[in-house]
């Protein structure tokens, strides 16, 4: 057959494909399409940095401009992954510095990034534009200084929730006067104070600045000055929102805000003094995203603010809002899509606020577009969950954390199987689920039967036997990530569903009942899975094979199963079928 | 971790990390200069501090007039300054052991003791001290200190990111008291004193005025300052209460606090409510360090010299 498009034409057609899924499909058509596609792929997402190696990526995709990558498993957020486990960015940064001189974007999540890496980034890529570090750690403000000083065309510097060793605020002053390209700056996780005049001048000379998230150290009295320089802001994170009550500070702030006609998102609000909240009222009608999860203020003040935000789509708030506040939310914000309610006193023995399951029920009743929920509370009932499920069959993310582990239905003292069962049965598009409370194997049967679109499932202190895990692994067709802690799930379910694990990104099990012998067997059976035994008690083969491991992390990979950066508490199967550690 | 009822001081020197301090104090009780290896000394390098952990009157050669610390802080003696001084003068070793018995189970474990262990058994005159002692435990979450029924915390539960947990811990709700639903009603801040080997914690909410907090801190830290006049005590038989207060009020120390902006401020300038809202920690600063903060202090010390 002589007809075939010239490569350039195919390349042009492929350039309209942005989704990785589509490009992956295209590259499977035939060898020549694979070749053409790989030369014109500019953007890549690696969900698990150990699933592939830098060499493999660079070999296949020689023209990348944007790399996004995730490192540690999600449970690392809650200190379940020991320090030093891995997810180092440096090998990637170093390899890419050689291979991709035109790289523009690096986005990392839950990875260890050093100052060395940051310096290398700042010096290797002439056209570097975007650096987003989410929940990363390992670097200091010195690394940030390198980025500020050397990346002439920097557009985005976003450090969301990273743990930065804050040596001083001086890094910000390293942005040269010639740098006018900033579009987004998020320094909210930093502790120390930056030079305000440097900050002010930076904002003033950045006409494209859309997102500015300050840190707590920027005082309220100075906020108006900044905002006045950037009326084009779309997203603003304030610093500490408290000050002596002074009418000139207030009016100056209110005036500055009223000039921001495009403001859609507000966050920050540490140490809120409620009297200053009305300063933002002028922008409330345009606000679609409000993060008040650091604002420790009573429900009445929260409600006064929220009820001004008729177009609110996303709200993050502390449980100070209480059931009454959530009821008011349900009444005013009919466009609400995402709600997160965080606990103000998670370790207290007694509830400190009046927030119960009722708040969530009200919101599910009143907000027809609600699709994503993260809710911390201290009591729940099957009746409430069933009501919520019936009200809102459109949930795609449902994460419920009842603070007391294994808390039963407080009305009937039964397990919450029926309630969560109703959620998965009614919410057919559910993609993410986190459960808590007292749960037996029955809830997993419901999940396996109904949750066909479920991609991520988090389980803690639940279940009774391997049957529970088996239901999930055998039933959930779309499952990609499964994380389990403190459940009586063991060898049988894992081994019986070994093939399933090949279709998933990863499985995490800690404080469960998986034995070392089963881990070895799984690794032997499944050559493309890396079975990491993470155990701080010393070599697992110094104990009987039937001994349960502390944690096991299973993920599919095309890279070597003996990663070179394993710490001494991680064991993987060596190629000669013995578990060795590097 | 439970604290044994019977106190075997040598036994207490079992190297539990959290009891480094107790080890040193135990050794001191025996009249022995703590010649500890670097590990056991841990955080505190005793030689660097002016204060010594030897008991009043013990003959440790390195001591330059240090004081009998600590144990008598929490002992019955604390309530009665003159008694405290008598022990000092007489050089009795009893101060340590009696204080322990008198203090019941406050134990020597500054870091490891749980609220439950520390509560309850102290003699009635110690009740006031016990909350403060509990609060010295730095790692404990504030809520679990105040709630005696706090459960053992499971790692990583509830699933809240440390970033958020840390911010919650330093967030003080500005609640309308009329609403009656305010939070735990406690605001623990660290109090350090220059030269003292360990810090204390106090709950700002339990005080209503500067006078109250001032006298509370005087009580807490007075025994540290006895050392300042240690050399003189060999001559003096008796140190009156007023002399002690003079030490704190006088040229030696200035009370400062770190506010929300990270600046060190002199206590007393702003209204009480504003102070509690913005105070992050307290520091009892040496007069000589307080240049610029409290000029009158310098003048006082000059006049005393």
Contact predicate B171/A296, CB 8 Å:
yes
CB B188 within 8 A of CB B203: yes
Q: What is the mean pLDDT of residues A35-64?
A: 96
Q: Answer for the pair A252, A223: CB distance below 8 angstroms, yes or no.
A: no
Distance of CA A225 to the CA centre of its chain: 32
SS (H, E, C) A40-56: CCCEEEECCCCCCCHHH
How many residue pairs from chains A and B have C-beta atoms closer than 8 A? 113
Least confident range from A185-194, A476-485, A555-564, B99-108: namely B99-108
Query: Which positions in chain A touch B280 (Cβ < 8 Å)?
Result: none
Question: Look-up: residue for tokens 């993310």?
Answer: A397
* DSSP bridge pairs for A266: A236, A290
From CA A213, how far away is CA A218, in angstroms rounded?
10
CB contact set of A14 (below 8 Å; sequence gap of 6+): A23, A26, A36, A37, A40
Of the pLDDT bands very low, low, confident and very high (cuts 50, 70, 90), residue A201 is: very high
Cα end-to-end distance, chain B, whole Å: 49
- The confidence score (pLDDT) of residue B166 equals 79
Copy the structure tokens of residue A29. 């058509």
Mean pLDDT of A232-254: 92
Query: Are the C-beta atoms of A413 and A380 separated by less than 8 Å?
Result: no
Paired with A530 in beta bridges are A555
Residue B2 C-alpha from the chain's centroid: 21
Instruction: Answer yes or no: is pLDDT of B66 > 50.
Output: no
Report phi then psi at B248, rounded to 5: -75, -35
Residues in B closer than 8 angstroms to A401, CB to CB, are 158-159
Contacts of A292 in chain B (CB under 8 A): none
In the Cβ-directed half-sphere of A75, how many Cα atoms lie within 13 Å?
A: 28
Which range is least confidently modeled, A367-381, A449-463, B30-44, B107-121?
A: B107-121
Give the length of chain A.
Answer: 582
Dist. CA A94–CA A565, nearest whole Å: 15
Q: Cα(A332)–Cα(A546) distance, rounded to whole angstroms?
A: 57
Strand partners, B300: none
pLDDT tens per residue across span A93-145:
999 999 999 999 999 999 999 999 999 999 999 999 999 999 999 999 999 99
Cβ B140 vs Cβ B112: under 8 Å: no
pLDDT at position A565 over 50: yes
For residues B73 and B103, give the distance between their C-alpha atoms in angstroms, rounded to a whole number.
10
User: Which among A463, A519, A507 has a CA at the least distance from the CA of A489?
Assistant: A463
Q: Residue B272: enclosing H or E segment and its boundaries?
A: helix B272-278
Selecting from B141, B159, B168 the residue whose C-beta is nearest the C-beta of A344 gives B168
pLDDT at B185 over 80: no
pLDDT of residue B305: 42
| 3 state DSSP class of A178 | coil
Residue B42 Cα to chain centre, angstroms: 18
Q: Quick check: B227 pLDDT over 70?
A: no
In the prediction, which pLDDT does B203 show? 83
Instruction: Tell me if residue B194 falls in helix, strand or coil.
Output: coil
Report the pLDDT averaged over residues A315-334. 96
Q: What is the pLDDT of residue A438?
A: 97
- pLDDT value of residue B105: 37
pLDDT of B32 above 50: no
β-sheet bridge partners, residue A510: A485, A551
pLDDT value for B291: 60
- Asked if A340 and A290 touch (Cβ cutoff 8 Å), the reply is no
DSSP string, A54-87: HHHHHHH-TT--EEEEE-S-GGGGGT-S-TT---
Look at A298 and B157 and tell me if their CB atoms are within 8 Å: no
Would you place residue B217 in the very low, low, confident or very high pLDDT band (cuts 50, 70, 90)? confident
CB count in 10 Å sphere of residue A471 = 21
Q: Is A121 helix (H, G, I), strand (E, B) or coil?
A: helix
On the CB side of A464, how many CA atoms lie within 13 Å of its CA? Answer: 9
The maximal CA–CA distance of chain A, rounded, in angstroms, is 81
The rounded radius of gyration (Å) of the Cα atoms in chain B is 20
Tell me the pLDDT band of B136, cut-offs 50, 70 and 90: very low
pLDDT for res A448: 97
Per-residue pLDDT, A145? 96
The pLDDT value recorded for residue B271 is: 85
CB A349 within 8 A of CB B150: yes
Q: Considering only residues B49 and B99, tell me which one the structure prediction assigns the higher pLDDT.
A: B49
Which tokens go with A248? 């000139």
**Three-class DSSP category at B208:** coil
Average model confidence (pLDDT) across chain B: 55
Q: Which helix (H) or strand (E) holds A20?
A: helix A20-27
- pLDDT above 90 (res B152): no
Q: How far is CA A162 from the centre of its chain?
A: 11
Model confidence at A480: pLDDT above 80: yes
Q: Look at residue B151 and tell me whether its pLDDT is greater than 60.
A: no
* Cβ-based contacts of A294 with chain B (< 8 Å): 167, 171
Q: What residues in B contact A161, CB-CB < 8 Å?
A: 161, 163
Q: Which of A109, A298, A301, A400 to mutate to test the interface with B (most CBs of B within 10 A)?
A: A298
More confident site: A115 or B183: A115
In the predicted structure, residue B62 carries a pLDDT above the cut 50 = no
Asked whether the beta carbons of residue B171 and residue A270 sit closer than 8 angstroms, the reply is yes
**Which one-letter DSSP state was computed for residue A172?**
G
Neighbouring CB atoms inside 10 A of A447's CB total: 28
User: Average pLDDT in the B58-80 region?
Assistant: 39
Name the least confident of A207-216, A311-320, B131-140, B267-276. Answer: B131-140
Q: Which helix (H) or strand (E) holds A106?
A: strand A105-109
Q: What is residue A408's predicted lDDT score, i.e. its pLDDT? A: 96
Instruction: Determine the pLDDT at residue B190.
Output: 86
Task: State which residue of chain B sits closest to A436, comparing Cα positions.
Answer: B158
Alpha helices in A451-562 (DSSP H): 466-475, 491-496, 498-501, 516-525
* The residue count for chain B: 305
Would you put residue B156 in left (φ > 0), alpha (ψ -120 to 50) or beta? left
Put simply, whether B299 touches A (Cβ < 8 Å) is no
Residues 6+ apart with CB under 8 A from B8: none
Q: What does the DSSP 8-state code read for residue B154? A: P
Specify the 3-state DSSP secondary structure of A304. helix
Burial class of residue A189, CB neighbours in 10 A (0-12, 13-18, 19+): buried
Smallest CA–CA distance from A460 into chain B, residue: B157
CB count within 10 Å of CB B64 equals: 11
Measured CA to CA, the distance from residue A469 to residue A459 in angstroms comes to 10
Q: What is the pLDDT of residue A219?
A: 93
More confident residue, B142 or A567: A567
Complex prediction ipTM:
0.89
Please tell me which residue, B239 or B285, carries the higher pLDDT value: B285
User: Which structure tokens are listed for B99?
Assistant: 């204080």
Q: Which residue has the higher pLDDT, A208 or B228?
A: A208
Nearest CB partner across the interface for A161, out of B163, B173, B175: B163
The answer to whether residue B3 scores a pLDDT higher than 70 is no
Q: Beta strand pairing status for A130-134 and A184-186?
A: unpaired
Please report how many Cα atoms fall inside a 13 Å half-sphere around the Cα of residue A176, on the Cβ side: 10
What percent of chain B stands above pLDDT 90?
2
Question: If you ran DSSP here, which 8-state letter would residue A185 be given?
Answer: E
Residue B135 has pLDDT above 50, yes or no: no
- CB count, 10 Å around CB of A247? 7
pLDDT tens by residue, A261-284: 999 999 999 989 999 999 999 999
Three-state DSSP at A112 gives strand
> Does the pLDDT at position A577 exceed 60?
no
- Decide if pLDDT at A294 tops 90: yes
Structure tokens at A536: 């701080």
Whether pLDDT at A371 is above 80: yes
Say if residue A206's pLDDT is above 70: yes
Q: Which of B157, B171, B179 sits opposite A271 (nearest CB)?
A: B171
pLDDT per residue as tens digits for the range A483-499: 999 999 999 999 999 99
3-class SS of residue A576? coil
Average pLDDT of chain A, as a whole number: 94
Task: Read off the pLDDT band of A466 (50, 70, 90).
Answer: very high
* H-type alpha helices, A110-195: 115-124, 141-150
B282 vs B219, more confident: B282
| Chain A: closest CA distance from residue B47 (Å) | 29
pTM over 0.80: no
Question: Within 10 A of A207 (CB to CB), how many other CB atoms are there?
Answer: 12
A135·B161 Cβ contact <8 A:
yes
Q: Is the per-residue pLDDT at B40 higher than 80?
A: no
CB–CB of A133/A140 below 8 Å? no
Phi, psi angles (nearest 5°) of residue A175: -65, 120
In 10 A of CB B57, how many CB atoms?
Answer: 17
Q: For residue A356, which phi and psi values (nearest 5 degrees)?
A: -130, -165
The two beta strands, A137-140 and A105-109, are unpaired
Q: Which two tokens stand for residue A242?
A: 């408290």
Query: Which residues on A lie below 8 Å from B168 (Cβ)?
Result: 344-346
From A37's Cα to the closest Cα of chain B, the distance in A is: 40
Q: Residue A192's pLDDT band (boundaries 50, 70, 90)?
A: confident
Nearest to A534 by CA among A481, A579, A577: A579
Please give the pLDDT value at position B173: 54
Q: Which residues of A touch B260 (CB under 8 A)?
A: 240, 242, 271
Higher per-residue confidence, A244 vs A261: A261
B38 — pLDDT class (breaks 50, 70, 90): very low
Contact in structure between A544 and A520 (CB atoms under 8 Å): no
């Amino acid at each position: 057959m002589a007809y075939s498009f010239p490569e350039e034409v195919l390349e042009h057609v492929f350039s309209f494909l942005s989704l990785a899924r589509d490009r992956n499909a295209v590259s499977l058509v035939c060898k020549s399409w694979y070749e053409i596609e790989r030369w014109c792929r500019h953007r890549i997402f690696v969900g698990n940095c150990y699933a592939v190696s830098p060499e493999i990526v660079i070999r296949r995709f020689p023209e990348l401009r944007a790399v996004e990558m995730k490192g540690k498993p999600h449970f690392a957020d809650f200190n379940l992954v020991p320090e030093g486990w891995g997810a180092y960015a440096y090998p990637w940064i170093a390899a890419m510095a050689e291979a991709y001189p035109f790289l523009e974007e690096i986005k990392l999540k839950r990875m260890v990034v050093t100052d060395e890496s940051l310096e290398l980034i700042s010096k290797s890529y002439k056209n570097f534009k975007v650096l987003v570090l989410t929940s990363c750690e390992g670097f200091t403000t010195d690394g940030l200084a390198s980025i500020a000083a050397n990346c002439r065309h920097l557009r985005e510097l976003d450090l969301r929730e990273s743990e930065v060793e804050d040596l001083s605020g001086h890094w910000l002053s390293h942005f040269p006067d010639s740098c006018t390209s900033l579009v987004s700056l998020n320094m909210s996780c930093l502790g120390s104070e930056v030079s305000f005049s440097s900050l002010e001048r930076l904002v003033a000379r950045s006409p494209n600045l859309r997102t500015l998230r300050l840190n707590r150290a920027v005082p309220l009295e100075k906020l108006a000055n900044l905002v006045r320089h950037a009326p084009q802001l779309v997203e603003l994170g304030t610093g500490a929102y408290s000050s002596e009550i002074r009418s000139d500070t207030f009016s100056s702030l209110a005036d500055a805000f009223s000039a921001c006609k495009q403001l859609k998102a507000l966050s920050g609000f540490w140490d809120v003094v409620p009297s200053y909240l009305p300063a933002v009222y002028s922008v409330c009608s345009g606000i679609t995203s409000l993060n008040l999860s650091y604002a420790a203020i009573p429900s009445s003040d929260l409600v006064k603010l929220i009820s001004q935000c008729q177009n609110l789509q996303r709200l993050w708030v502390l449980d100070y809002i209480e059931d009454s506040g959530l009821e008011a939310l349900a009444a005013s914000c009919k466009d609400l899509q995402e709600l997160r309610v965080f606990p103000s006193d998670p370790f207290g023995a007694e509830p400190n606020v009046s927030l119960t399951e009722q708040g969530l029920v009200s919101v599910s009743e009143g907000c027809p577009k609600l699709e994503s929920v993260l809710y911390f509370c201290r009591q729940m009932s099957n009746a409430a969950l069933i009501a919520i499920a019936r009200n809102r069959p459109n949930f795609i993310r449902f994460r419920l954390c009842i603070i007391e582990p294994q808390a039963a239905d407080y009305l009937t003292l039964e397990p919450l199987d029926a309630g969560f069962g109703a959620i998965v049965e009614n919410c057919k598009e559910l993609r993410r689920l986190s459960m808590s409370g007292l749960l037996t194997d029955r809830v997993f049967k419901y999940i396996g039967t109904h949750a066909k679109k479920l991609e991520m499932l988090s389980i803690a202190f639940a279940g009774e036997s391997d049957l529970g895990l088996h239901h999930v692994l055998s039933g959930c067709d779309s499952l990609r990530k499964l994380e389990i802690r403190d459940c009586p799930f063991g060898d049988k379910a894992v081994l019986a569903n070994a093939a399933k694990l090949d279709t998933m990104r990863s499985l995490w099990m800690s404080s469960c009942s998986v034995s070392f012998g089963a881990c070895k067997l799984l690794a032997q059976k499944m050559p493309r899975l890396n079975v990491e035994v993470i155990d701080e008690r010393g070599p697992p083969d110094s104990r009987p094979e039937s001994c349960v491991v502390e944690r096991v992390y299973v993920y599919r990979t095309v890279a070597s199963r003996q990663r070179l950066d394993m710490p001494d508490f991680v064991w993987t199967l060596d190629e000669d079928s013995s578990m060795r550690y590097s | 971790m439970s604290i044994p009822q019977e106190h075997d001081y040598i036994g207490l020197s079992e190297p539990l990390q959290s009891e480094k301090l107790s080890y040193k104090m135990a050794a001191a009780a025996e009249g022995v200069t703590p010649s500890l290896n670097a590990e056991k000394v841990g955080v505190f390098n005793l030689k660097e501090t002016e204060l010594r952990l030897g008991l009043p009157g013990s003959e440790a050669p390195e001591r330059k007039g240090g004081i009998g610390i600590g144990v008598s802080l929490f002992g019955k003696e604390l309530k009665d300054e003159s008694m405290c001084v008598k022990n000092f003068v007489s050089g009795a070793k009893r101060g340590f052991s009696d204080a322990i018995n008198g203090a019941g189970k406050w134990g020597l474990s500054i870091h490891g003791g749980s609220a439950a262990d520390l509560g309850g058994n102290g003699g009635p005159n110690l009740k006031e001290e016990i909350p403060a002692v509990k609060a010295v435990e730095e790692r404990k979450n504030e809520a679990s200190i105040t709630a005696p029924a706090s459960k053992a915390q499971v790692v990583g539960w509830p699933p809240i990111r440390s970033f958020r947990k840390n911010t919650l811990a330093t967030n003080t709700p500005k609640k309308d008291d009329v609403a009656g639903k305010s939070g735990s009603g406690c605001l623990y801040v660290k109090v350090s004193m220059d030269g003292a080997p360990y810090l204390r914690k106090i709950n700002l909410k339990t005080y209503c005025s500067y006078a109250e907090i001032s006298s509370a801190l005087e009580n807490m830290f007075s025994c540290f300052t006895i050392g300042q006049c240690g050399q003189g005590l060999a001559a003096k038989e008796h140190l009156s209460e007023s002399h002690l207060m003079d030490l704190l009020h006088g040229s030696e120390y200035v009370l400062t606090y770190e506010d929300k902006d990270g600046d060190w401020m002199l206590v007393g300038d702003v209204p009480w409510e504003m102070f509690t809202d913005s105070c992050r920690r307290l520091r009892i600063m040496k007069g000589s360090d307080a240049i610029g903060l409290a000029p009158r202090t310098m003048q006082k010390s000059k006049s005393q010299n």
